[in-house]
Structure 1
Amino acid sequence: MKYTLEDLQEMNKKRAKHMDTAVKVFEQNTDENGDFKSAKAEADWTGLINKINDVGDTIKMTAKAVAPDHNYGFINGVFGIEALRAAIEIEDKAPVNSPLYSSFGSSGSDEDGGGACLTFEAKKFKSMFSNGGRSSLSNGGFKSFNDFLKTVHSGRYDDKLIGSGIKNSMTEGIPVEGGFAVPEEFAAWLLDNSLEAEIVRPRAQVWPMKTETRKIPAWDARNHSSGLYGGLNGVWMAEAGTATRQKGKLRMLTLNAKKLAIFTSASNELLADGLSFESQLGTAMSSTMGFDMDYAFINGNGVGKPLGMLSDPALITVLKEVGQAAGTIIYENLVKMFARVAPQCISKTVWVVNSTAIPQLLTLSISMGTAGSFVPVMSESNGVFTILSRPVVFTEKVPALGAKGDISLVDWSQYAVGLRKEVSLDKSNAPGWTEDETDYRTILRVDGQGTWDGPIIPRNGDPLSWCVTLETR
């Protein structure tokens, strides 16, 4: 059977669940001397231990082939209760979502909130902020998201808004901003609901942030002309020869949580007629969060918002062809863009294209063979468009046809996103008083930037990057 990263991650979660269950079985079915009270309980315990070790064996056998750089950080061969407890303690400090993965940066578990989450499942709220998905998310005592929104809307005192950890969550390191913390279960829904439709977050490194800033270590890997990683070179040694000491250079990236505020309104009349808050607000807030994060990760200038790909210091802008007409994309543009992507990034790149370029790309073809048959440059299979074998994502979030950035080739795995756990919600009827509406403000904090400090200077050839775009035509 061929496994994927997601499969391995599910195995880790399954193993963790068996471990937690085994501890409960032991504690509930043994006496003060640690002896089992029944043969059945002992058999159940033994069966769970065997499952733990069997799953561990499967993970170890397949992990090297599927994800050689992935840090699964677990102890296999657990037999007694003390070994089991020790394994749980160690693995809690090295969560399964903390891989060592990235051509130019590394991630690992630490006190800042775990390493970068790279798989789709790992980027979901529960995996990032609840011990790798092991712990349950709190609903704050509310029956549903609609129940929480109705309680906030009522303006009446409610213990659930004050207790159960539901309090102002935006105060760490900054002045009080007001609002109620959205319970974890509903914050997870807001952030996860838009994840699949987003461009950047599903493909980027996503770092959970416990504080206002997050430090990310990275290699200084720009110049390959004199060595990799800031000075590492392989040395061919003669017998009994002496090697030269090598030393790479590290640099530090800093993510600073930026505040994204989303303002929306709900009709008091519709609410009175029975339309739920969740129907009016929930989907709108979730979609807007995803859209605005994507837009900033692509276009942001880094001032009070993330530093987007189109402003990244590593961005390479390919020049238009001599005599090229305005508002066009030609085959030579695409080939030259492809040639400027760093080779280690090619397999993870996607074309990010404004929808206004669709007519250009659908009619673009090249002549092949002696008969001069025309072959489309952009092909389609099962609803997925590709150019030069790489997927195409059409979006309104990049500039329109003819402007710089209307088409880019990007490896988003080289982009780091930092995400705070807390989401807050506040309301006011002042702005919509004359329209019989209530206004709501949702605040979350996030940051993003590329992990390279400039294009690569290769040992041979032109500068290369993880993000390449086309100049204005």
Structure 2
Amino acid sequence: MSVKLRALQAKKAELVAAARKFNDETDARAQAENRGWTVEETTQYSAMRDSIVATQASIEREQALVAEEAGLQATMPPMSGASTIAAPPAAAAPATVAVPAGARISVEENVMNDPRRGFRSFGDFSRAVRGAALAATGAAALDRRLSMMAAAPTTYGNESNGADGGFAVPPEFSQEIWRLSIEDGSLVPMTLNTETSSNSMVFPKDETTPWGSGVQAYWKGEGSASGQSKMQLGTEMLRLKELMVLVPVTNELLEDAPALGSYLTPLASDRIQWKTNEAILFGTGGAQPQGCMNSNALVTVAKESGQATQTLLQANISRMRSRLLTGQLKNAIWIGNPDILPALEGMTVGQIPIFLPPGTGIREGGYDGTLNGRPLILSEHAAAFSSQSDLSLISLKGYRTITKAGGLETATSMHLYFDANATAFRFIFRIDGQPVMQAPVTPPTGKSTNTRSYFVTLGAR
């Protein structure tokens, strides 16, 4: 295969991966915002597709030329100052190839261009890692695919294993795990998410209102000076926190490669998704994100006068909706404990039901119905029925997250649990987040005494 052909194929692989990422992220964003793709998004995706098609055409042209060149049998005359290499004698006239003076041949390892690094499956990779432990005793040879993927060296060397006793998981398997963790059920795509290659990011913020402080508009009379206003910008810093899954797997299980692939991948992604969602909602800050339900911007709607415990009333839901920040209803979702479901079914405003189960609501994928016109997610993250936050109405457009570019970091080691005859698989996801507002919004004077926020929850009853 020619160097140019390999380069074109690698370029196409990168273009396809970028198109896949853009498609998945745009679908998730459009779904969270209850809309279709915008013209700009469609145009951008079409441009990416055009690049893929153009690269494929270049690949086909190069393949055709390579095939034609391989079929040439003519003798090429030697160049001045060059040596010649004669072909072995054959029935036909011998052929020679001219080699220019000073020419050299370079060889690169094609397997490093393969996102699977030459492994057929995650189970195949795991079995090779298991074999590396035997290679350390001299009972077997180290799989050459692993020798090209040794992790960065530390202060000591090890001939038969990765330089620090571990091997990086091939990127395709790593990306597969991360894609699973942001599918239906993850809250990250609903937030104001930014990927970063650094460890932190600083964002400017403006919490002023059109009727409060900060930049204002004034009516101006003819010939009179206009009122002036001053920006009130603040900043907030987010610093990536580490969320780790450490999974020891017995070497007996590693012998069963297909079983490991079906066991370990969903196990890691489920733990990552659960902990990330919990932090976005109820994180305490510090070593983890600051959750929206633990922030000063949270609005808590008290129970109705005389309302009994273990009940949920239509008035509770209406009051919660009225406390949502104006203009955010189109982005809002309900999150409730599954135990509230019996109280919701049959609840009406007049003759109109306010809860619609799946199959009858305005939205389907990933939701458990609609409540008051917005998607409902029944979640074990919600508090117990009749406790505060058993039902919440939130718009995660008021919550900012940063995630580490590249997604999930993965690695393996057979040394951590060597005495237990087990191999450790480690998954690290780095994220931070916090609400964009530090307090609820107060309406204009005389308009209302109720504050409003991106995050509204129902109080205990």
The alignment's TM-score, normalised by the length of structure 1, stands at: 0.64
Q: Compared with structure 1, are the counterparts of its residues 424 and 323 closer, same or farther at alpha carbon in structure 2 (3 Å cutoff)?
A: same
What residue is the counterpart of 1:463 in the other structure? 451
What CA RMSD, in Å, does the superposition of the two structures yield over aligned residues? 3.4
Within 5 A, what are the aligned runs for 1:172-187?
180-187=167-174
Secondary structure at the counterpart of residue 387 of structure 2: coil
What residue is the counterpart of 2:43 in the other structure? 11
Q: Compared with structure 1, are the counterparts of its residues 457 and 206 closer, same or farther at alpha carbon in structure 2 (3 Å cutoff)?
A: same
Q: Compared with structure 1, are the counterparts of its residues 414 and 402 closer, same or farther at alpha carbon in structure 2 (3 Å cutoff)?
A: same
Amino acid corresponding to residue 456 of structure 2 in structure 1: V
- For 1:206 and 1:256, locate their aligned partners in 2 and report how far apart those are by CA, in whole Å: 13
- For 1:272 and 1:179, locate their aligned partners in 2 and report how far apart those are by CA, in whole Å: 18
Amino acid corresponding to residue 44 of structure 2 in structure 1: N
What residue is the counterpart of 1:380 in the other structure? 357
Aligned partners of 2:165 and 2:413 also within 8 Å: no
Amino acid corresponding to residue 458 of structure 2 in structure 1: L
What residue is the counterpart of 1:453 in the other structure? 438
Secondary structure at the counterpart of residue 202 of structure 1: helix
How many Å apart are 1:471 and its aligned residue? 1.3
Q: How many residues matched? A: 347
How many Å apart are 1:412 and its aligned residue? 1.1
- For 2:258 and 2:54, locate their aligned partners in 1 and report how far apart those are by CA, in whole Å: 46
Amino acid corresponding to residue 272 of structure 1 in structure 2: E
Q: Compared with structure 1, are the counterparts of its residues 290 and 161 closer, same or farther at alpha carbon in structure 2 (3 Å cutoff)?
A: farther
How many Å apart are 1:314 and its aligned residue? 0.8
Aligned partners of 1:180 and 1:424 also within 8 Å: no
Alpha-carbon displacement from aligned partner over 1:28-80 (angstroms, at most 9, x marks no partner): 99xxxxxxxxxxxxxxxxxxxxxxxxxxxxxxxxxxxxxxxxxxxxxxxxxxx
Aligned with 2:212 (options 219, 226, 237): 226
Alpha-carbon displacement from aligned partner over 1:413-434 (angstroms, at most 9, x marks no partner): 2211211135132345766966
- For 1:240 and 1:19, locate their aligned partners in 2 and report how far apart those are by CA, in whole Å: 57
Structure 2 residue 191 is matched with structure 1 residue 208: no
- For 2:45 and 2:185, locate their aligned partners in 1 and report how far apart those are by CA, in whole Å: 25
Aligned partners of 2:414 and 2:422 also within 8 Å: no
Alpha-carbon displacement from aligned partner over 1:255-305 (angstroms, at most 9, x marks no partner): 111111113343433433453431121121122211221111111111211
Secondary structure at the counterpart of residue 189 of structure 1: helix
Aligned partners of 2:130 and 2:251 also within 8 Å: no
How many Å apart are 1:248 and its aligned residue? 2.0
- For 2:354 and 2:36, locate their aligned partners in 1 and report how far apart those are by CA, in whole Å: 30
Alpha-carbon displacement from aligned partner over 1:176-226 (angstroms, at most 9, x marks no partner): x996544433332111113222241121121102111122222233x5542
Within 5 A, what are the aligned runs for 1:343-422?
343-366=326-349, 368=350, 375-380=352-357, 382=359, 384=361, 385-420=369-404, 421=406, 422=408
Within 5 A, what are the aligned runs for 1:439-450?
439-450=424-435
Alpha-carbon displacement from aligned partner over 1:231-250 (angstroms, at most 9, x marks no partner): 11112222343323333222
How many Å apart are 1:16 and its aligned residue? 4.3
- Of structures 1 and 2, the larger Rg is shown by 2
Structure 2 residue 233 is matched with structure 1 residue 250: yes
Within 5 A, what are the aligned runs for 1:4-403?
4-5=36-37, 8-16=40-48, 18=50, 138-140=115-117, 142-156=119-133, 163=148, 167=151, 180-221=167-208, 223-227=209-213, 231-366=214-349, 368=350, 375-380=352-357, 382=359, 384=361, 385-403=369-387
Q: Compared with structure 1, are the counterparts of its residues 257 and 243 closer, same or farther at alpha carbon in structure 2 (3 Å cutoff)?
A: same
Q: Compared with structure 1, are the counterparts of its residues 273 and 203 closer, same or farther at alpha carbon in structure 2 (3 Å cutoff)?
A: closer
- For 2:39 and 2:169, locate their aligned partners in 1 and report how far apart those are by CA, in whole Å: 31
The alignment's TM-score, normalised by the length of structure 2, stands at: 0.66
Amino acid corresponding to residue 228 of structure 2 in structure 1: R
Aligned partners of 1:153 and 1:427 also within 8 Å: no
Q: Compared with structure 1, are the counterparts of its residues 440 and 183 closer, same or farther at alpha carbon in structure 2 (3 Å cutoff)?
A: closer
- For 2:286 and 2:237, locate their aligned partners in 1 and report how far apart those are by CA, in whole Å: 14
- For 2:275 and 2:294, locate their aligned partners in 1 and report how far apart those are by CA, in whole Å: 16
- For 2:143 and 2:295, locate their aligned partners in 1 and report how far apart those are by CA, in whole Å: 46
Amino acid corresponding to residue 468 of structure 1 in structure 2: V
- For 1:412 and 1:21, locate their aligned partners in 2 and report how far apart those are by CA, in whole Å: 37
Q: Compared with structure 1, are the counterparts of its residues 181 and 210 closer, same or farther at alpha carbon in structure 2 (3 Å cutoff)?
A: farther
Aligned partners of 1:415 and 1:450 also within 8 Å: yes
- For 1:301 and 1:464, locate their aligned partners in 2 and report how far apart those are by CA, in whole Å: 22
